[in-house]
Chains A and B, each alone.
Chain A
Amino acid sequence: MSERLADWTRGEEAITYQTCAACGHVQYFHRAFCAACGTAGPREARASGKGTVYATSLVCRAATPETRAHVPYNILLVDCAEGFRMMAHGENDLGIGDAVKASFRPFAGKLVPFFTKSA
């Protein structure tokens, strides 16, 4: 199995995903196996960062002092071009169906994906 690619969950400006060589299943949460068929070692790749907004929720009441400093912040579910869904931040005025592109921003001491409207 190849070395795990670094992504935003490890402080790298990247979004990664996995594709199963046996059944073609695409998954976002990293695993040592395909969650659909169990085959070991799904292929890892960097995503393009392009996607479509599936859902939004503007958080106005946060639960920790670190996150409270950022309110309001928009939590998104984005359907990525490569066929997986991810949670991210984005511009506050994004709506469902908007075509978006990923960038990265610091949030509460970590790096998080931040989506903006693509031109």
Chain B
Amino acid sequence: MSFITGVGLTPFGKHEGSSSLDLMSKAAQAALDDAGLKRAEIDGILCGYSTVSPHIMLATVFAEHFGIRPSYAHAVQVGGATGLAMTMLAHHLVVAGICRNVLVVAGENRLTGQSRDASIQALAQVGHPDYEVPLGPTIPAYYGLVATRYMHEYGVTEEDLAEFAVLMRAHACTHPGAQFHDPITVADVMASKPVAMPLKLLDCCPVSDGGAAFVISRERTGEAGVRIRGCAQAHTHQHVTAAPGLSELGAEISIVRAREATGLATSDVRYAAIYDSFTITLAMLLEDLGLAGRGEAAARVRAGHFSRDGAMPLNTHGGLLSYGHCGVGGAMAHLVEAHLQMTGRAANRQVRDASIALLHGDGGVLSSHVSMFLEQVR
């Protein structure tokens, strides 16, 4: 059994003058404080990567900087799925008895540490170096391709996709740490600058500075507990050119495996924390995971189903789309928010019931998937 004993999250946006290590340290200290653990009690460290400050041994760079001599440490790279992949590994390390307390940490000054073009260019390299990158695609273009096909097959419209941006912004407006606090409308999304059609600026997550961390432990350290019930992965391809058909993508595979691993059903879920790099990503994943029928997710947004007071509150911090996206730490914010909800600490954002949460991360172009169920324990 494993517990998430502490979480830490910085505000996202501009952290002028902060390095990736600074942001990682800030989040890590917050997670340790939250867990009530000292540095000496951490025996495992898993960290993500920084596109601003790439290093072949980031975990030990961080361990030395932060002041920990762990018995287990390395970095993990699965794009946007990294945060949940690290959490899954930490869960298994703890369950196997290899570690007692694993610190999972990521942070990056992606906004102020390099130009937006440099970020976009660095990320586009997930494409095939010979068969895709010479064509000048961007990450929004890879997802734009998926979007036109999804819209074609399931009758989803650009206005439907815009609903997800509006919802995430509405949620971000209630979180002081979010990058964006101005409410937006479907018309605003539709009128925003075209990036890679059908995706427009407000369909895309921003580039942010920020950090996030959590501690995964064998034993509970506080009163309120959150337990990792189980998790699973699926990896069907790397490049969008080699992706399977829309009905065979990894999210559908990983959720089935996670349900089998936990004995839980989608109907048990009370809170959803789903990867949302683009509006299409969120729409597709909600439908792939069974949180909405095919082509029906947008209608559920309009009906308030995914709002804080709805039947399935979703990304109540504002998600990547509006809390922000600092790389690996971006999707880790989803888990931090789920933890706050499950421990009754989400203040004005608190939902009625977050007893079972479903988390899902996606890396690459719907290439790598991690599904995870968390359970509140009293």
A-to-B contact residues, CB < 8 Å: 9, 28-30, 54-64, 66-67, 70, 72-73, 75-77, 85-89, 96, 107-108, 110, 112
The reply to whether A108 and B137 contact each other, CB–CB distance below 8 Å, is no
| A87-B132 contact, Cβ under 8 Å, with A29-B242, A57-B141, A96-B152 | yes
Q: Cβ of B363 < 8 Å from any Cβ of A?
A: no
- What's the count of A-B pairs with C-beta under 8 Å? 109
Chain A residues contacting B197 (CB-CB under 8 Å) are 56-58, 60
The reply to whether A88 and B136 contact each other, CB–CB distance below 8 Å, is no
Q: Which of A57, A58, A63, A86 contacts B121 (CB 8 A)?
A: A63
Q: How far is the CA of A73 from the CA of B197 in the complex (A)?
A: 10
Q: How far is the CA of A57 from the CA of B138 in the complex (A)?
A: 10
Q: Which of A28, A57, A63, A85 contacts B144 (CB 8 A)?
A: A57
Chain A residues contacting B152 (CB-CB under 8 Å) are 55, 96
Starting from the known contacts A63-B117, A75-B137, A76-B145, 4 additional A-B residue pairs (CB-CB under 8 Å) come to: A29-B128, A29-B242, A58-B144, A59-B138
The reply to whether A61 and B241 contact each other, CB–CB distance below 8 Å, is no
Q: Cβ of B40 < 8 Å from any Cβ of A?
A: no
The reply to whether A108 and B136 contact each other, CB–CB distance below 8 Å, is yes
Q: Cβ of B261 < 8 Å from any Cβ of A?
A: no
The reply to whether B149 and A112 contact each other, CB–CB distance below 8 Å, is no
Q: Smallest distance from the beta carbon of A71 to chain B beta carbons, Å?
A: 9
Q: Smallest distance from the beta carbon of A55 to chain B beta carbons, Å?
A: 4
Q: Cβ of B346 < 8 Å from any Cβ of A?
A: no
Q: Cβ of B130 < 8 Å from any Cβ of A?
A: yes
What does the 1/0 interface line of B149-180 toward A look like (CB < 8 Å)? Answer: 10010000000000000000000000000000
Q: Smallest distance from the beta carbon of B300 to chain A beta carbons, Å?
A: 25
Q: How far is the CA of A73 from the CA of B136 in the complex (A)?
A: 9
The reply to whether B241 and A55 contact each other, CB–CB distance below 8 Å, is no
Residue total for B at the interface (Cβ-Cβ under 8 A): 34
| A86-B196 contact, Cβ under 8 Å, with A9-B131, A63-B138, A64-B121 | no
The reply to whether A62 and B132 contact each other, CB–CB distance below 8 Å, is no
| A96-B149 contact, Cβ under 8 Å, with A28-B241, A29-B131, A60-B193 | yes
Chain A residues contacting B132 (CB-CB under 8 Å) are 87
Q: Cβ of B347 < 8 Å from any Cβ of A?
A: no
Q: Cβ of B319 < 8 Å from any Cβ of A?
A: no
Which secondary structure dominates chain A's binding surface? strand
Q: How far is the CA of A62 from the CA of B130 in the complex (A)?
A: 18
Closest B residue, CB atoms, query A67: B136
Q: How far is the CA of A90 from the CA of B146 in the complex (A)?
A: 17
The reply to whether B131 and A70 contact each other, CB–CB distance below 8 Å, is no
A-B contact pairs, 26 of them (CB 8 A): A9-B134, A28-B131, A28-B241, A29-B130, A29-B239, A57-B140, A57-B144, A57-B147, A57-B148, A57-B196, A58-B197, A59-B136, A59-B141, A59-B196, A60-B193, A60-B194, A61-B140, A63-B138, A64-B136, A72-B194, A75-B141, A75-B145, A76-B145, A87-B128, A88-B135, A112-B135
Within 8 A of A (CB), among B107-149: 117, 120-121, 124, 128, 130-132, 134-138, 140-142, 144-149
Q: How far is the CA of A30 from the CA of B241 in the complex (A)?
A: 13
Q: How far is the CA of A8 from the CA of B130 in the complex (A)?
A: 10
Q: Smallest distance from the beta carbon of A7 to chain B beta carbons, Å?
A: 9
The reply to whether A60 and B145 contact each other, CB–CB distance below 8 Å, is no
Chain A residues contacting B117 (CB-CB under 8 Å) are 63-64
The reply to whether A85 and B135 contact each other, CB–CB distance below 8 Å, is no
